[in-house]
Amino acid sequence: MELNIYAYKCKRCKHIQYPYRTICRKCGDNDHNEFDIVPMSKKGKLLTFTHLFTLPADYETASLMLGIVELDDGNRITGQLDIDNPKIGMKVKGDVQIVRQELYEKRLGMVFSKM
């Protein structure tokens, strides 16, 4: 089963926003919560990234890379990078995966790889 992260599409102007807001960020006119819930785009452009080396003890890796990606729908999202030599501006595609696992809890997030 393909996992998704869901965004909110304004029924008035069709703008897609994430995370949830009670008023549409584009038309500013939607004060009745009239949004359709739609899967977020999984393709975009890498805006910036960082390499983390001091992680909490429950991570099963010594380091990881985080990036901020501008998706094709215009939203920006933070996700892990599964890319050896990331370059700002490169095209990436996302996949929703378990990014952190605690004793009884799995946390999902977007993991980006090269397109």
Residues that bind Zn ion (CB under 5 A): 10, 12-13, 15, 24, 26-27, 30
Least separation in angstroms between CB 33 and Zn ion? 12
Least separation in angstroms between CB 17 and Zn ion? 8
CB nearer to Zn ion: pick between 33 and 50 = 33
Q: How far apart are CA 96 and CA 79, in angstroms?
A: 9
Least separation in angstroms between CB 66 and Zn ion? 30
Q: How far apart are CA 63 and CA 68, in angstroms?
A: 17
CB nearer to Zn ion: pick between 33 and 63 = 33
Half-sphere exposure of 114 (CA within 13 A, CB side): 5
- Among 95, 98, 92, 100, residue whose Cα is nearest residue 111: 95
Question: Residue 60 corresponds to which tokens in the numbers above?
Answer: 């099963």
- Among 56, 99, 62, residue whose Cα is nearest residue 77: 99
CB nearer to Zn ion: pick between 15 and 42 = 15
CB nearer to Zn ion: pick between 5 and 24 = 24
Least separation in angstroms between CB 8 and Zn ion? 10
